[in-house]
Amino acid sequence: MRKTIPLMAMALAALALPTLATAQSLVEGEHYEVLDEPVETQVAEDKIEVTEAFWYGCPHCYNLQSHVRDWYSTLEDDVEIVHLPATMGGDWNIHAQVFYAAEELGIREAAHADIFHAIHEEGRSLTDMDQVAELFSDYGVSEEEARDALNAFGVKNHVNRAHSRMRDMRLRGVPALMVDGRYLVTPSSAGSLDNMPQIAAVLVEKVREERAD
């Protein structure tokens, strides 16, 4: 059975809303999906997790970045973002290695947007170690350090865990936003990329209300 969520003004006050978000209630099964079995979240119990699933090579994921960055800047302290690089084989897995290698080296936050930019604006595939090492050198990382990180057991383990989590989330594509391990928002359910964070914001408020009861 479909359920509706009243749109909460305080959840969306910082956003410029399209007609969908101001004139209607969200409909479960139409604007977002609810997982039959919630996935385990990775943040502290008092935090609300928002997982952003993406692939660096995906143009829609790249175009979503400006929308989610604006939203992330408005989030309250009880919300924590988890980035999940999608793993569907081939270049997807290589880019997941790049993500976790950057995290291993402590440059992920600084390099994240630049990795997207290098692929989609500069035409660099970032699918071989030389290209990745060259990019990482912009952040003071030596070629040896870059290669060691890309081949590290911990990085490969993170990629495997990301694949397991993606499977548990029943993700069939990216980009996607998952709220509290239960509520899934996709471009098709949201109607557009810029609607995705706005719908996710309402779902974050829904989780707050559920926890307050």
Percentage of the chain lying above the pLDDT 90 cut: 85
Please list, in sequence order, all residues whose beta carbon lies within 8 angstroms of the beta carbon of residue 70, skipping any fewer than 6 positions away. 15, 197
Contact 63, 175 (CB under 8 A): no
Please report the pLDDT score of residue 6 as a whole number.
52
What φ, ψ does residue 177 adopt, rounded to 5°? -120, 130
Please report the pLDDT score of residue 25 as a whole number.
77
Give the whole-angstrom CA distance, residue 144 versus residue 149.
9
Please report the pLDDT score of residue 163 as a whole number.
96
Per-residue pLDDT band at 23 (split at 50, 70, 90): very low
Q: How many CA atoms lie within 13 A of 79 on its CB side?
A: 22
Contact 87, 166 (CB under 8 A): yes
Distance spanning both ends of the chain, measured CA to CA: 22
| Residue whose entry in the numeric block shows the structure tokens 């919630």 | 38
Is the predicted pLDDT of residue 12 greater than 60, yes or no?
A: no
Q: For 86-142, how does the pLDDT look when each residue is reduced to its tens digit (9 = 90+)? A: 999 999 999 999 999 999 999 999 999 999 999 999 999 999 999 999 999 999 999
Q: For 143-172, how does the pLDDT look when each residue is reduced to its tens digit (9 = 90+)? A: 999 999 999 999 999 999 999 999 999 998
